[in-house]
Structure 1
Amino acid sequence: MAEHPAYPVGLRLSGRKVVVLGGGQVAQRRLPALIAAGGDILLVSPTATPSVEAMVDAGELIWEKRPYAEGDLADAWYALIATDDTEANIRASAEGERHRVWCVRADDADAATAWTPATGTSEGVTVAVLTSDAKGRDPRHTAAIRDAVVEGLRDGTLVAPHHRTRTPGVALVGGGPGDPDLITVRGRRLLAEADVVITDHLGPRDLLAELPQGVEVIDAAKLPYGRFMAQEAINSALIEHARQGRSVVRLKGGDPFVYGRGMEEVQALAEAGIPCTVVPGISSSISVPGAAGIPVTHRGVAHEFTVVSGHIAPDDERSLVDWPALARLTGTLVILMGVGTIGKVAETLIAHGKSPDTPVALVQEGTTAAQRRVDATLATVAETVVSAEIKPPAVIVVGEVVTVGPHPAK
């Protein structure tokens, strides 16, 4: 038997009798998959681990507290033989041979009629890895191969396009603060499976180079607007491509719902009857300060943090921000899109009681190779932005947390 490779097959065990002999660590590892497969499981063992007992208590299998006995494999479709009694294992294996029951032997792969592959799942796909013969069996090697394949499927580095089951629609994906490694696993996978990617300048651009050939990449900033506003043109493009039966990813920087106008796109798609999946992203409001060594909260320093948009100055009638209230807070203030208005913001905060000496950090291009941090105070931040030539995108942190790091920037 060892001269021939194993024939791989997927067993459909739902409602069929499965016998497990032995309630130790091997059974503990294998039982969850057998339970998930819907097997009618009989455990025969004098003892069991606490985890196996918990499965019994939950009603997931039946346990007979005794050693193996002739006839236990009768009417079984599949058996896992994993006792610490070699003689019992041999007798059970012989019974399985007589009754044509496929048996896995935990103690002797050569004597088994079936082998358990190293398995993993990702998005409805089960990956099972077997070595070609018993003599060359290396469980660590097969497990490593399994892990590499499953991880590749999950993070999108191993792409197998869907041909029958893929549903056209839009995925609204938060790309994170800039470093391509900080996109979520699900976001990266959806990006790898897309037919069309509509992105903007804040999306992690390095990920676009990894896309398969044939994927259409659309720069949202270059969409022809005509009579449309920019956002309306983006909404129109998302709807148009989805209606053509394509899988569309709208790639945004940070999180789609943190100043990303993501809900506007979700609403437009819903009105058009287009299915939409929202994939949250790591927000720059927390991750960029963290990458620069600044905690937005710290014990004994700041018990809260507030994130605010600075794209509209405090003295603009369109502003919805209660700047006087923010000035009275004792925690951390994180300002996004505020490079152009930080002078007015600082003046307003000081005018309403914030100390001019309050520490401020400006973190430009956070989490990327071009990241730099420049520190100032509320009194000097406007001048610092000009002298240090701070450009968007930059996250501005106001509060004492700026100084608590091990090596605050100068």
Structure 2
Amino acid sequence: MSSSQSEIVSEYQTTLLLAAERFFGRGRIPKRIRQAFMDTPRHLFAKRFYSSAKQDWVDLETADLRDHLTELYSDHPLCIYRDKNGKSLSTVSQPSLVLYMIDLLELEPGQSVFELGGGSGWNAALMAHLVGKKGKILSLEIIEELTPSAQAALEELNLNQVCFRSGDANLGSDEGNFDRGVFTASAWDLPACFYQQIKPKGLLLYVFKAQPNYDLLCLLRKTDQSHFESELHFSCSFVPVTGSNSQPNLPAIPVSKLPPQGEMAELAWNDIKIADTAIPEFIDFTKLVFDCQQSYLVENDELAFDEEFWAVGNPKDGNLLLYNEDRLLLYGDDTNLIKFRRTAKRWQKAKQPGIEDLKLSVYAASNAPETSNDQWAVNRGDSTFIWGI
């Protein structure tokens, strides 16, 4: 890249940093992170990307870089890989979010980092500047086609402290333990290997697939060999993890296809004693603490489509409480209705906390404790997520 091009790129980088600072909301981006950003041009890690402006793929090996700097240095993700159906499987993430995540990791020179989902390599490169030449970044990317371009960009910047290779990070690493861990894709479960791979008191930046329509970015601190505590979590959206820890496919189930559920009773939200204005927030809360990933469809003769509901209970035992913003349907006995009412009472007593106000603890499934009245356990494979008020 010529000196004149470098100057133009620097101008775009500076403008992007100003936009990223507005996202931060915590004051000025730390100087070390600003410098890492300036030393790591984003376009080097997006040699081929899908242009939203042109609705087509752009190859920077043949295209004029100057024609694409506005898009390359906008505060938006860039798609760099799609499957044959056109679904985005890897992006160069939104710069403001990337810088915010790196700041949360509190990286210091000499530290080691284990990254699940290397993608373009840009995130690994930024972290490499912060851990320095004596640090180590191990970045595993499951999409083999992405590895050569990421390795080439890292080599161009002489970032030898980064080991970027193809592999399934869900299976862990044989390269020892790490001071930090970071997910760059949303995961349904926290694989068992991370309880061993992260050092005591270490930080893990984890993306939790909370619901089909949103993820939670969680900053987890390792407290012991089988336990993490969340220091913060907030809604976000990432591409999903693939490989051995991919999310189960849970298409909506028609209630008519389930085994007999017993007599059905229709209830009103007044029966739960939740104010009409609070129903949407309470539903968001219950979908998380009851882990309502599975949705159900109920035929409605008055509508041209089946209504979608979330559920408390297990259809195998013949008891279900189905609910959406308009209706509640109880099948079987009142076990799940009692559970739902008690949850509503606790939620209101706690002044209707939102998702970001909840306490989250993550345990290896084999070591999860019993929950109290103000806690709800979500069991997912290797890990148990305990939500509390």
* TM-score computed with the length of structure 2 as normaliser: 0.24
Higher relative strand content:
2
* TM-score computed with the length of structure 1 as normaliser: 0.24
Q: Radius of gyration: which is bigger?
A: 1
